[in-house]
C-alpha cells in the first residue's frame, strides 16, 4: 500500500530523479523556503512518485512536475498526488493552481487523464515546439523561392549591430511601436549563439533579426525571430532561417529547435502549412489551471 508524505530536506533527496534537472535544487531548500511544497509517494517505504510546486505570486501556485515510477503507473498514484497537493495548498491559503507541460511524451495521455479526473480546466495550447535537423529543414522546396535577397537588403551578424541602430529601435518602440513586446531582440541577447544570430537591414535600416542560443553541444534554439510587418509577406524571415541553418550546418551542429506562441497565429499557420513535412516533431506546450 502506498503512502503520501510532505517532504523536507532530509527526505527529499531520494526523489531528485523524479523531477527536471532545473528544479532539483528546490528539493534542497524545502526547510528554508515555505513557498515550495513537495509531496512524495512511497510503496513499502520505497519512493515511487513526486509532485513539486511553488507559490510564485500571492495565492498563485505553479506545479513544476508530477511523476510516478513506470512500474507503479495506472494505480491512481498520480491522481492521489495531485489531489493531496491541492488540499495542502488550499490549507495554506492558495487560490489558483497552474500546470504547464509539453506533449509528445509517453506520459502525456496519462497526465491529461489525471488532470481531467481532478477537474482542472481543459488544457490550452500555449506554444508549438518545433524540432528538426538543419539539413532537413533547408531542403524545404519553397525556401528556394525566397533564396534571392535584393541588393537593398543585407544580412549581418547580430553582434555587429551598432549603438546607433540600437538607439533608433528603442526610440521607435517608445514613440511608434512596431515590434511585439515578446519579440524585442534586446531581451534575448544574454549568451546568444554568435554563430548564427543574425540581423536584416533594408535600405540601411535594421528591420529584422533571428536571435539564437546553444542549449546543447549539438542543438541550437532559435529563440526570437521577427521581420517588420510590411516586409513579412515577401518571405524575408525565411531567408534569415535559411541563412542561420546554412551556418549551423557548416559548423556541424545538426539539431534545431524553436517555439511559436499560439497568439502569433500567422506563425502557427506557417509552421503547420509549410514547415511540418520537414521537421522531426511538432509538440505543444499546454497549460491548465484550477481554482481552489
Provide the residue ranges of all domains of the chain, joining segments of one domain with +. Answer: 2-120, 130-285
Cell readout for 174 is 517608445
Domain 2-120 identical in fold to domain 130-285: yes
What's the pLDDT at 141?
83
Task: Give me the mean pLDDT over the 10-14 stretch.
Answer: 95
What's the pLDDT at 116?
96
In this prediction the pTM is 0.79
Q: How far is CA 236 from CA 140, 207, 260, 281, in A?
A: 15, 10, 18, 24
Which residue would you say has higher pLDDT here, 82 or 141? 82
12 pLDDT more than 90? yes
Residues 6+ apart with CB under 8 A from 97: 53, 61, 62, 63, 86, 89, 120, 289, 290, 292
pLDDT tens digits, one per residue of 211-225: 999 999 999 999 999
d(CA 127, CA 84): 29
Say if domain 130-285 classifies as CATH 1.10.3720.10. Answer: no
Task: Give me the mean pLDDT over the 151-163 stretch.
Answer: 97
- The architecture (CATH level 2) of 2-120 comes to 3-Layer(aba) Sandwich (3.40)
- Print burial letters for 148-183: b (CB count within 10 Å at least 16), e (below 16): ebeeebebeebeebeeebeeebeeeeeeeeebeeeb
* Cβ-based neighbour number of residue 3 at 10 Å: 12
Confidence of residue 67 (pLDDT cuts 50, 70, 90): very high
The sign of the dihedral angle between the CA atoms of 196, 202, 206, 208 is negative
d(CA 158, CA 195): 10
Confidence of residue 144 (pLDDT cuts 50, 70, 90): confident
Chain mean pLDDT for the chain: 95
pLDDT tens digits, one per residue of 229-273: 999 988 899 999 999 999 999 999 999 999 999 998 988 998 998
Amino acid at each position: 500500500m502506498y503512502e503520501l508524505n510532505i517532504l523536507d530536506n532530509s527526505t527529499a533527496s531520494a526523489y531528485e530523479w523524479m523531477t527536471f534537472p532545473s528544479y532539483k535544487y528546490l528539493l534542497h531548500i524545502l526547510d528554508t523556503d515555505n513557498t515550495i511544497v513537495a509531496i512524495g509517494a512511497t510503496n513499502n517505504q520505497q519512493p515511487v512518485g513526486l509532485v513539486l510546486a511553488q507559490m510564485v505570486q500571492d495565492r498563485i501556485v505553479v506545479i513544476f512536475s508530477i511523476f510516478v515510477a513506470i512500474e507503479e503507473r495506472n494505480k491512481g498514484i498520480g491522481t492521489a498526488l495531485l489531489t493531496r497537493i491541492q488540499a495542502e495548498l488550499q490549507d495554506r491559503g492558495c487560490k489558483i493552481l497552474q500546470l504547464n507541460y509539453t506533449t509528445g511524451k509517453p506520459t502525456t495521455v496519462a497526465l491529461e487523464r489525471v488532470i481531467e479526473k481532478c477537474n482542472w480546466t481543459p488544457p490550452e495550447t500555449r506554444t508549438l515546439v518545433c524540432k528538426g535537423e538543419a539539413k532537413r529543414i533547408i531542403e524545404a522546396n519553397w525556401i528556394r523561392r525566397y533564396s534571392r535577397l535584393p541588393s537593398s537588403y543585407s544580412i549581418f551578424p547580430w553582434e555587429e549591430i551598432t549603438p546607433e541602430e540600437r538607439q533608433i529601435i528603442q526610440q521607435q518602440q517608445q514613440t511608434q511601436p512596431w515590434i511585439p513586446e515578446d519579440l524585442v531582440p534586446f531581451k534575448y541577447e544574454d549568451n546568444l549563439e554568435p554563430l548564427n544570430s543574425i540581423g536584416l537591414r533594408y535600405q540601411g535600416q535594421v528591420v529584422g533579426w533571428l536571435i539564437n542560443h546553444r542549449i546543447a553541444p549539438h542543438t541550437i534554439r532559435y529563440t526570437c525571430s521577427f521581420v517588420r510587418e510590411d516586409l513579412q509577406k515577401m518571405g524575408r524571415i525565411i531567408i534569415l532561417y535559411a541563412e542561420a541553418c546554412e551556418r549551423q550546418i557548416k559548423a556541424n551542429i545538426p539539431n534545431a529547435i524553436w517555439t511559436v506562441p499560439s497568439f502569433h497565429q500567422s506563425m502557427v499557420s506557417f509552421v503547420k502549412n509549410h514547415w511540418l513535412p520537414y521537421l522531426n516533431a511538432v509538440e505543444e506546450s499546454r497549460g491548465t489551471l484550477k481554482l481552489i
